[in-house]
């Protein structure tokens, strides 16, 4: 029996790509040591927790806002009712007639009414006088705005020195 001969196989391949792969592997191993995987993952987990807490806070704020918005329609209805009531009072007050002073009122109210009437008449006269003053001031202003003609130079007298010859 012949012995089995183990034959080694040989192949011709360029070595430069293998060297590049070796260098790349060394770089990866060097950078892998610089990055602490556990710390990296703990930072990622912290970021995820912060993100989750922000989402929860937003949800709570959103729920509170939704509750406040749901209360608005009833508040607006109350406001509209109050405004309608106020407008009703204003209309009622505007439509009531002011009646003259009845004879049953005391004399002090009657004298007060007469004095107020005198004041109203005095104010009407003052308004008329003010209108007259305003119109006269406007006319005066128009006259003052007119351009003034230039002054003529003074005439010179010529002294009689010699008789005029004819």
Q: Render pLDDT for 68-100 as a digit per residue (tens, 0 to 9).
A: 999 988 999 999 999 999 988 888 877 765 555
Query: Does residue 56 fall inside a structural domain?
Result: no
Whether residue 95 contacts residue 83, with contact meaning beta carbons closer than 8 Å, is answered with: no
Query: Does residue 124 fall inside a structural domain?
Result: yes
Query: Does residue 16 fall inside a structural domain?
Result: no
pLDDT at 139 (0 to 100): 87
Low-confidence ranges of the chain (pLDDT < 50): 1
Query: Does residue 117 fall inside a structural domain?
Result: yes
How large a percentage of the chain has pLDDT more than 90? Answer: 29
Rounded distance, CA 51 to CA 25, Å? Answer: 36
Structural domain of residue 134, as residue ranges?
106-146
pLDDT at 47 (0 to 100): 92
Locate tokens 């009622």: which residue? 92
Query: Does residue 122 fall inside a structural domain?
Result: yes
Q: Is the pTM for the entire model greater than 0.75?
A: no
Angle, CA of 79, 80 and 83, to the nearest 5° = 85
pLDDT at 17 (0 to 100): 80
Q: Which of 104, 101, 125, 99 is nearest to 113 (CA)?
A: 101
Largest distance between two CA atoms of the chain: 180
- Structure tokens that stand for 135 in this block: 């119109």
Query: Does residue 52 fall inside a structural domain?
Result: no
Query: Does residue 129 fall inside a structural domain?
Result: yes
pLDDT at 102 (0 to 100): 58
pLDDT at 59 (0 to 100): 93
Domains contained in the chain, number: 1
Query: Does residue 119 fall inside a structural domain?
Result: yes
pLDDT at 103 (0 to 100): 58
Rounded distance, CA 116 to CA 108, Å? Answer: 12
């Amino acid at each position: 029996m012949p012995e089995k001969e183990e034959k080694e196989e040989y192949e011709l391949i360029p070595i430069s790509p293998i060297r590049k792969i070796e260098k790349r592997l060394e770089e990866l191993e060097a950078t892998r040591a610089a990055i602490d995987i556990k710390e990296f993952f703990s930072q990622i987990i912290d970021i995820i927790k912060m993100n989750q807490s922000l989402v929860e806070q937003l949800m709570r704020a959103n729920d509170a806002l939704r509750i406040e918005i749901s209360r608005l329609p009833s508040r607006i209805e109350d406001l509209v009712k109050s405004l309608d009531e106020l407008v009703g009072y204003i209309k009622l007050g505007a439509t009531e007639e002011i009646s003259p002073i009845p004879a049953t009122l005391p004399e002090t109210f009657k004298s007060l009414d007469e004095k107020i009437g005198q004041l109203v008449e005095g104010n009407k006269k003052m308004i008329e006088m003010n209108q007259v003053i305003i119109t006269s001031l406007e006319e005066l202003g128009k006259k003052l705005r007119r351009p003034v003609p230039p002054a003529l130079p003074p005439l010179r007298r010529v002294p009689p020195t010699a008789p005029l010859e004819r």
